[in-house]
């Protein structure tokens, strides 16, 4: 049966009180597959969210981590600090971090290794911008990111990494990739993983789509063969919307 991961990326939103209120709301929905849902929250909310979601099956994750274990990195958060808060997932290389905070494939690669060593599941983001897409360079671009980001990571670790394909032109723009465009790239990414490693590893790797996913378009995106879920920004801020997307995934499993 297909495995899904419905991951809400809250970005820089919500106070602790708002996060706890969200937790109460989503718990009340009685999700059918809560273990396939994760909320990726700002650091300040993680502790309270984990407490509020305890026993619900829903996981809590972070949006970033430093690749070093400790040291003189003012303003950064280490993997040990995330482990202490029982963080299950952590986003790596989101396009906003690549664009605004100087994240490179090299730092992404180091962060992936740091998280794997700590037993936290990375959610690695890749995806092209509109110029690359218009020049039809998206496959070359994304393959380049995958090859660089997975450098030195052994096959046995690969399926512990979740990959999220997020075309930058679809993030926060309301302009979703069509289900066929999303599927084409997710299948391509699976092929790249199969090429670097092997088909079994590729088949066992979760590949998500992200970029303006919402209740109205989730079902047709999630129905695609190579799409194992979503990384959802704007629509994850409302418990109703995130629950509706999780429901769409649960419906597909029940079919």
Please tell me whether residue 233 binds ligand PGA under the rule CB under 6 A. yes
Decide if 248 contacts 215 (C-beta within 8 A): yes
Does 40 engage in binding with ligand PGA (CB under 6 A)?
Answer: no
Catalytic residue (choose from 36, 94, 103, 128): 94
- Give Cβ neighbours of residue 75 (< 8 Å, ≥ 6 apart): none
Helix/strand/coil percentages in the chain, nearest 5:
50, 15, 35
| Residue 156: burial class (beta carbons within 10 Å; 0-12, 13-18, 19+) | exposed
Site for ligand PGA contains 172 (CB under 6 A): yes
Residue 38 or 78 with smaller CB distance to ligand PGA = 38
Q: What is the DSSP letter of 37?
A: E
Task: Assess 222 for contact with ligand PGA (CB under 6 A).
Answer: no
Enclosing H/E stretch for 80? helix 79-84
Point out which span in 62-70, 100-108, 116-124, 206-214 binds ligand PGA (CB under 6 A). Answer: 206-214
SS3 state at 204: coil
- Pairing between β-strand 59-62 and β-strand 162-165 as defined by DSSP bridges: unpaired
Among 211, 215, 242, 248, binds ligand PGA (CB under 6 A): 211
8 lies in the site for ligand PGA, by CB under 6 A: no
Is there a catalytic annotation at residue 94? yes
Name the closest residue to ligand PGA (Cβ).
233
The one among 4, 5, 9, 209 contacting ligand PGA by CB under 6 A: 9
* Residue 185 in the binding site for ligand PGA (CB under 6 A): no
154 binds ligand PGA (CB under 6 A): no
Q: Which member of 162, 163, 171, 208 binds ligand PGA (CB under 6 A)?
A: 171
Is 166 catalytic? The answer is: yes
Give the closest residue to 210 by CA, choosing from 239, 171, 244, 174.
171
Distance CA 235, CA 244 (A): 10
218 near ligand PGA, rule: CB under 6 A:
no
Chain residues in the site for ligand PGA (CB under 6 A): 9, 166, 171-172, 210-213, 231-235
Q: Which of the residues are catalytic?
A: 94, 166
């Amino acid at each position: 049966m297909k495995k899904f991961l419905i991951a809400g990326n809250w970005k820089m939103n919500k106070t602790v009180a708002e996060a706890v209120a969200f937790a109460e709301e989503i718990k009340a929905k009685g999700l059918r597959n809560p273990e396939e849902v994760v909320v990726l929250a700002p650091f300040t909310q993680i502790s309270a969210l984990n407490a509020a979601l305890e026993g619900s099956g829903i996981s809590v994750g972070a949006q970033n981590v430093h690749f070093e274990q400790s040291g003189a990195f003012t303003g950064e958060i280490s993997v040990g600090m995330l482990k202490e808060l029982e963080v299950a997932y952590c986003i790596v290389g989101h396009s906003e971090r690549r664009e605004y905070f100087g994240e490179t494939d090299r730092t992404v690669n180091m962060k992936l290794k740091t998280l794997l060593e700590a037993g936290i599941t990375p959610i690695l983001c890749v995806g092209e911008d509109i110029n690359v897409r218009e020049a039809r360079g998206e496959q070359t671009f994304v393959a380049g990111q995958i090859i660089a980001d997975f450098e030195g990571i052994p096959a046995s670790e690969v399926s512990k990494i979740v990959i999220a394909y997020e075309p930058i032109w679809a993030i926060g723009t309301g302009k979703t990739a069509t289900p066929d465009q999303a599927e084409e790239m997710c299948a391509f990414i699976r092929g790249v993983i199969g090429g670097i490693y092997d088909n079994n590893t590729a088949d066992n790797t979760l590949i998500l789509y992200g970029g303006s996913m919402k209740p109205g378009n989730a079902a047709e995106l999630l129905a695609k063969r190579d799409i194992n879920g979503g990384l959802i920004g704007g629509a994850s801020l409302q418990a109703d919307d995130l629950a509706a997307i999780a429901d769409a995934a649960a419906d597909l499993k029940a079919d």
